[in-house]
Structure 1
């Protein structure tokens, strides 16, 4: 049989033009983290070299994410498709402003935690894989923020979960195993629900490309079970974000690992759940989000109050901070419930960025409290103010920011959310947001009075300052202050990110520059 003489036209299936160099930034954070994690694993016999190589890698990750953010700000969303297959057949990494902001902020938080780990994680923990697992965790987090495919989002959730299981049991203490069991069971249930939702989504749309789904959702609203899908994704992501009534696993688990691991989890993992929820129900299923808005608002209000009241009742500062994480998730859910009206989504985006920095810093501060005061229990802490006025000042800034008080970063997103609630007529939700801030202020006031201001029973010898713990804590606190005093740029970016989610035309055009075929 003679070979065909005509050339095959590959342009209908494959990208035939060279990929612009800048578009490789979309996948570079993930590739960098996976490659460095493999190298670090091979260097487990050299713990000190491994640690410093990991810190260098985290610095490079932050620089890559900064370059990616700058490119997205300047040029809009960008897309990189695997294997040159045209979307929706090729797996797409599509980065818009929301994803780029989250990726860059997560890299800063991970860098601070990595520097802190130079003190918190000894040679034994390094040999058992702390730094390789940290890089694998960042690969999962970065992949979740940068992917443009729903199944790929599920895959990156699995990657970060696998690494988080290794991190939470690092040390193999009884308490860690107990916390890991609770953490694993609830997260695996949530992951299963997510996978079921992905299967239904594919059956309905015949594609898992986010841009493709966003353009088809309105046409299928009358014939497809989109409300079922939205409800299923809401439950799955609410479990991962530790929202009421499936929040109980977080304070039962986050206090058990090493403090630097708790800081990573509190700063990053719950925010991935919130990110996925916003991406799916705001950008892909906006009509269903509107129908579910009242339910989401009630969940948000309950989450805020449960978190604030739980913080009031706690004696262990790690569990106290865990409830503060939960209360913050409630504030972000309030923004999701309010949608674009009056800036609800922009408030949620701003609050997520603030919370990633703040909660990482709070847990690192908890480690410093324990080092200086001898433990994590409020009943046994006192006199920290006399030991170090500088550390007390840093702590006070973080506490005030967590309460949402000016002039720090937590103030502005709460102002946006309260205004959005009042503009939409949800005065009761605005009242809950303010009440949650008031109760959180009481909880942190109690912590400050007992641990810092209460006189020590005897003159305690001041603990030596360590740059490896002080530097990341001071840097994160500086960001909290900077976001509060100069919020205009971050507010503008948050509003632009929210606008891109509400109207994903630029996102879709990045994936399908010639239109959907």
Structure 2
């Protein structure tokens, strides 16, 4: 079974190479990408079943012993995130194929898009299964290279400008991360996560604190945690719709995943939970207040993306097994729902020629299916029962209530306010864009909303309306079905996440993990 683990990263890289070779044959590239991501999904699903039933798998690539070799490590958390990522990547890929076929690949040139997309997937998978910090860094750098190409596709001035901001911020984060790796190696003599977990406790508290904060600073930028989230709302909305969707759904979650590993494995006895609670509250409130002030759907969703990262940091700061399990569940929920919303907005843009809620009108009667595809994930993200957003937030609030400190109560109130404002913001867009009739006079309260949003930044410019291929609608509908499945099968999925929370809260059996990486067998 351990022989399947390296395929999670090698298959996308091989697929990217094949797609690049067939750069002038669009159909071949499409099928290479679909087959590659489907194969990874199947392999990851098999690994998820195995590691949940048995034990994690640790593989030393080429048999090099720790700490010299590359270690790949798949536990239930890593396998689950690879499965969810593969589902999202497949859906977005199909969406982009439909868009490219309809537009002549003006926004997403196939010869560039497919190799870059598969390299992006390889970077995501590498980050999730990295068993050492340097390999995690490599995964981040693969992401950076591929994402810079994708975010600037089309070569417009706005995309180049946002791409420059994105890459500068990402490079700063990478330099901080590399500096943290160097400091950890100097202090501990290893970058293997299992050995770091064993040796970190022997260091003075001041050294542990400095190393801890260095890693959190680097990962906080990638996760878009306040006040390190300033770059995100201006970077994502300018990219092509499928690129924005996959960025919003996955890239910040790679940063959150790195923070999960840092808090649960490298620094399980951390004393900075109060700091994390404050940061999580600020991330939730500042992010959603930014969304309230926006008039453009992509910017609204970008700010809600920032605010909901705060829920995940909140769960980690609670630091109980139940809270960590709830965090994982909410993370899975948010990956799917946020991606779905961005795809739905992509459909809205093609149907109406704009994503400005000041200009959208009458879509409920003009495009009822798109209205439904937006409405379901919107109320899910807003946390209405019985959807997965409500389940995840309730689980987080329940875990915080069990701790019961005054600060936890403040965080619960902040989380409830953020959820209500999220629902208000998304339903305001629904009211203006879908319910407002294009031929009717504005009601006084509607005029007040428009007047309030009239000075909002980056309102979308009206463009031509475009045909919506069936595959774009089908891929978006498929993800909506997945969001509903997160609710229908919430029991088994939440039990799985609860087991993950319990595993992450247990002391790592370091000696066995190291032994596994030298033999290539699984378990710890």
2:409 aligned with 1:427: yes
Q: 1:89 to 1:463 in 2, by over 3 A?
A: closer
Question: CA separation in 2, counterparts of 1:57 and 1:80?
Answer: 22
Could you say which residue in structure 2 is the equivalent of 1:493? Answer: 496
Q: What pairs with 1:405-416 in structure 2 (closer than 5 Å)?
A: 405-416=384-395
Unpaired runs of 5+ residues, structure 2, are 441-464, 520-524
Could you say which residue in structure 2 is the equivalent of 1:372? 351
8 Å contact from structure 1 (residues 76, 506) kept in 2: no
Partner of 2:313: 333
1:52 positional shift: 2.6
8 A contact 1:48–1:123 mirrored in 2 = no
State whether residues 408 and 482 of structure 1, in contact with CA within 8 Å, keep that contact through their aligned partners in structure 2: no
Of 180, 190, 193 in structure 2, the residue corresponding to residue 207 of structure 1 is: 190
* Cα distance, 1:43 vs structure 2: 0.8
Written as runs of structure 1 = structure 2, the 5 A alignment for 1:73-472 is 73-121=52-100, 122-123=104-105, 125-222=108-205, 225-288=207-270, 291-340=271-320, 343-424=322-403, 425=405, 426-457=408-439, 466-472=469-475
Greater relative CO, 1 or 2 (CA 8 Å, sep 6+): 2
The number of aligned residues is 488
Measured against aligned partners, the alpha-carbon deviations of 1:357-404 in whole angstroms (never above 9, x if no partner) come to 111111100100111122111111011110233332222111011111
Please report how far the alpha carbon of residue 336 of structure 1 lies from its aligned counterpart in structure 2 after TM superposition: 1.2
Stretch deviating more after TM superposition (473-482 or 429-438): 473-482
TM-score computed with the length of structure 2 as normaliser: 0.90
Maintained 8 Å contact 1:44/1:126: no
The alignment's C-alpha RMSD in Å is 1.9
Unaligned runs of 5+ in 1: 1-21
Cα 1:515–1:269, aligned 2, differ >3 Å: closer, same or farther?
A: closer
- TM-score under structure 1 normalisation? 0.91
CA distance in 1, matches of 2:512, 2:389: 34
Distance 2:382 2:28 in 1: 40
Give distance in 1, aligned partners of 2:49 and 2:70: 24
Identify if the C-alpha distance between structure 1 residues 504 and 144 changes in structure 2 by more than 3 Å, giving closer, same or farther.
Answer: farther
- Counterpart of 1:14 in structure 2 is none
C-alpha deviations, 1:188-226, integer Å up to 9, x for none? 11111111111111111111111111122223345x601
Partner secondary structure for residue 118 of structure 2: helix
What stretches of structure 1 move > 6 A for 4+ residues in a row?
Answer: none
**Cα offset, 1:117, TM superposition:** 0.5
Whether the aligned pair in 1 keeps the contact of 2:24 and 2:111 (CA below 8 Å) is no
Q: 1:514 to 1:39 in 2, by over 3 A?
A: closer
Secondary structure at 1:94 match in 2: strand
State the secondary structure of the residue aligned to 2:269: helix
Cα distance in 1 for partners of 2:517, 2:169 equals: 43
The C-alpha deviation readout for 1:279-304, integer Å capped at 9, x for no partner, is: 0122111122xx11111111100110
Does the 8 A contact of 1:500 with 1:506 survive in 2?
no
Assess, with a 3 A threshold, how the Cα gap between structure 1 residues 221 and 252 changes in structure 2: closer, same or farther.
same
Contact 1:96/1:507 (<8 A) preserved: no
